[in-house]
Structure 1
Amino acid sequence: MDYRYGSRTIFKIQYHFVFVTKYRYQVLQGDVGLKVRELIRQTCNAFEIEILKGVVSKDHVHLLVSAPQNMAPSEIMRRVKGDDNFRTEN
């Protein structure tokens, strides 16, 4: 078992996310699919989210991730899907 360690905690939290394109249009092909994959990887690395498995299909994305215990699932998806990934906070 691969456990993750915090300052005072040991945890193994995994989430399986599936999200689809609008109207399930098949737009995640070729260069677009590669760019989506790269952006998801960059975002997950920036927020200490470990991608265990991931698949980018023509009209949907599967992600199995391990995340820190202080991040809610909704927060993870907001970071992965949102355009506010690289906003600076004042």
Structure 2
Amino acid sequence: MRSYRKNSHSQYDLKVHLIWIPKYRKRILIGKVSERTRDLLRQICMEHEVHIISGKISCDHVHMFISYKPQISLSKLVQYLKGISSRILLQEFTHL
């Protein structure tokens, strides 16, 4: 049986598999950068009520399988995930 999420007047099951890469597919997501990226993505998802079903951060790309609410568009969600995490990572790790 599918696991539907409920609002006051609707049921939904919106799931998407996101994959994205750093610029030029550079292998920068290693060590502390990878750990901080994971923490940031979890924090952003929690703030926007997004459920992470599974995810993996490799050295040159990120996989996330998520369930999200219909009140937020997918493009806006990706903007939050990539934009906020990128800005904070560039501030904390100057070598990037």
Compute the TM-score of the two structures, normalised by the length of structure 2.
0.84
> Residue 12 of structure 1 aligns with which residue?
13
Alpha-carbon distance in 2 for matches of 1:50, 1:9: 18
What's the CA shift for 1:80?
0.6
Does residue 25 (structure 1) correspond to residue 26 (structure 2)? The answer is: yes
What's the CA shift for 1:3?
0.9
> Residue 66 of structure 2 aligns with which residue?
65
Q: State the aligned residue count.
A: 84
Does residue 83 (structure 1) correspond to residue 84 (structure 2)? The answer is: yes
Deviations 1:12-31 (A, max 9, x none): 00011100011111000011
Alpha-carbon distance in 1 for matches of 2:80, 2:8: 24
Amino-acid identity (%):
32
> Residue 93 of structure 2 aligns with which residue?
none
What's the CA shift for 1:58?
0.2
What's the CA shift for 1:78?
0.7
Residues 45-60 of structure 1: matches in 2 within 5 Å? 45-60=46-61
What's the CA shift for 1:70?
1.5
Alpha-carbon distance in 1 for matches of 2:15, 2:39: 21
Compute the TM-score of the two structures, normalised by the length of structure 1.
0.89
> What 5-or-longer segments of structure 2 have no aligned partner?
86-96
> What 5-or-longer segments of structure 1 have no aligned partner?
85-90
What's the CA shift for 1:75?
0.7
What's the CA shift for 1:83?
2.9
Matched AA of 2:42: R
Alpha-carbon distance in 1 for matches of 2:12, 2:84: 29
Matched AA of 1:78: Q
